[in-house]
């Protein structure tokens, strides 16, 4: 039986292997500077941090920072930051024996100021696209990385509170504040599908994309574009394989990359693997 940390790593690998996953790197599509192999190396590199996520004497924040540092040890840049931000607390919940919305909400509620500091330090290892912080919160801009740690400490902000500040703008942070609802929904869809797991993951990706605007797209291209991508995802789903491929090509050409939706799939794959609801 695979260990929890191995399921976490495999989830990252299965996520990137699923195709077609319009707008994201997959087995059949990559960019010159962000290739399939970077995701393979990112998943392997995250291994130590994923193991740490299953060691209950290591903080969730520290485990995340270790995972990000290892993930970033390849030339593609940010491959799996958001995915790790979902998978690490889920792995901790699994280790505690309660891989459920309640279980992961407890993990979130238990986070400390030290976890928040480690989360900020993770931004030192890799460039991540994020929105500007809410007005008046510039000192807490995550892009400051470890430079913001004094501020976090002096304000006694926990990692849960950090996520609450971003939940309105960032779909991964929103999972933290809403019991990982979309992640568990993705897990159920993947588990309920048919055929090879990478195909199910790709189908679930398109389904999620057609239901809610991707916040990573909104961050980089504005909310209108994110809405349009959502509508087109629904059209592509209804139109069948050729339309999905055409949609994929068009997103790549426009440089539009629904990264948050891919992150949710990685989280969902982990849940489904760990619950033994899908077998590879």
Residues that bind its own copies (CB under 8 A): 1-2, 6, 9-10, 13-14, 17, 27-28, 35-38, 40-41, 44-45, 47, 70, 73-75, 196-198, 279-280
Q: How far is the CB of 61 from its own copies (least distance, A)?
A: 23
202 three-class SS: helix
Q: How many CA atoms lie within 13 A of 99 on its CB side?
A: 25
User: Among 191, 194, 195, 163, which residue's Cα sits nearest to residue 177?
Assistant: 163
For every residue of 121-179, DSSP letters joined together read HHTTSS----PPPPTT-GGG-GGGGGGGHHHHHHHT--HHHHHHHHTTT-HHHHHHHTT
Q: Which is nearer to its own copies, 4 or 160 (CB)?
A: 4
**Which residues lie below 8 Å from residue 144, measured CB to CB, with a gap of 6+?**
120, 123
Q: Which is nearer to its own copies, 9 or 274 (CB)?
A: 9
Cβ–Cβ under 8 Å, residues 106 and 125:
no
Q: How far is the CB of 28 from its own copies (least distance, A)?
A: 7
Q: How far is the CB of 15 from its own copies (least distance, A)?
A: 10
Q: How far is the CB of 197 from its own copies (least distance, A)?
A: 6
User: Among 182, 199, 177, 200, which residue's Cα sits nearest to residue 264?
Assistant: 182
Q: How far is the CB of 261 from its own copies (least distance, A)?
A: 20
Distance of CA 277 to the CA centre of its chain: 20
Burial of 199 (0-12, 13-18, 19+ CB in 10 A): middle
Other C-beta atoms within 10 Å of 147: how many? Answer: 14
**For residues 216 and 208, what is the distance between their CA atoms, to the nearest angstrom?**
14
Q: Which is nearer to its own copies, 242 or 279 (CB)?
A: 279
Q: Which is nearer to its own copies, 3 or 246 (CB)?
A: 3
Q: Which is nearer to its own copies, 240 or 279 (CB)?
A: 279
Q: Which is nearer to its own copies, 1 or 109 (CB)?
A: 1
Q: How far is the CB of 193 from its own copies (least distance, A)?
A: 14
Q: How far is the CB of 25 from its own copies (least distance, A)?
A: 12
Q: Which is nearer to its own copies, 40 or 58 (CB)?
A: 40
């Amino acid at each position: 039986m695979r260990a929890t940390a191995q399921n976490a790593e495999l989830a990252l690998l299965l996520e990137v292997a699923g195709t077609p996953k319009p707008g994201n790197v997959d087995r059949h599509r990559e960019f010159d500077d962000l290739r399939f192999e970077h995701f393979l190396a990112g998943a392997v590199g995250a291994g130590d941090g994923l193991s740490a996520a299953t060691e209950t004497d290591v903080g969730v924040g520290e485990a995340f920072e270790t995972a990000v540092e290892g993930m970033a040890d390849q030339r593609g840049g940010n491959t799996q930051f958001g995915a790790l931000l979902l998978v690490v607390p889920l792995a901790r919940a699994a280790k505690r024996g309660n891989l459920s919305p309640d279980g992961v909400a407890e993990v979130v509620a238990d986070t400390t100021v030290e976890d928040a500091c480690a989360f900020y330090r993770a931004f030192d290892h890799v460039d991540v696209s994020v929105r500007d912080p809410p007005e008046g919160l510039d000192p807490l801009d995550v892009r400051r990385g470890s430079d913001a740690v004094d501020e976090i400490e002096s304000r006694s902000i926990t990692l849960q509170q950090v996520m609450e500040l971003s939940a309105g703008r960032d779909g991964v942070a929103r999972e933290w504040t809403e019991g990982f609802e979309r992640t568990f929904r993705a897990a159920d869809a993947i588990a309920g599908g048919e055929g090879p797991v990478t195909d199910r993951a790709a189908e679930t990706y398109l389904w999620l994309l057609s239901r809610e605007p991707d916040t990573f797209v909104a961050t980089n291209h504005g909310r209108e574009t994110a809405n349009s991508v959502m509508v087109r995802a629904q059209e592509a789903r209804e139109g069948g394989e050729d339309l999905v491929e055409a949609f994929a090509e068009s997103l790549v050409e426009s440089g539009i990359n629904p990264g948050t939706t891919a992150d949710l799939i990685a989280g969902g794959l982990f849940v489904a693997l760990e619950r033994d609801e899908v077998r590879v």
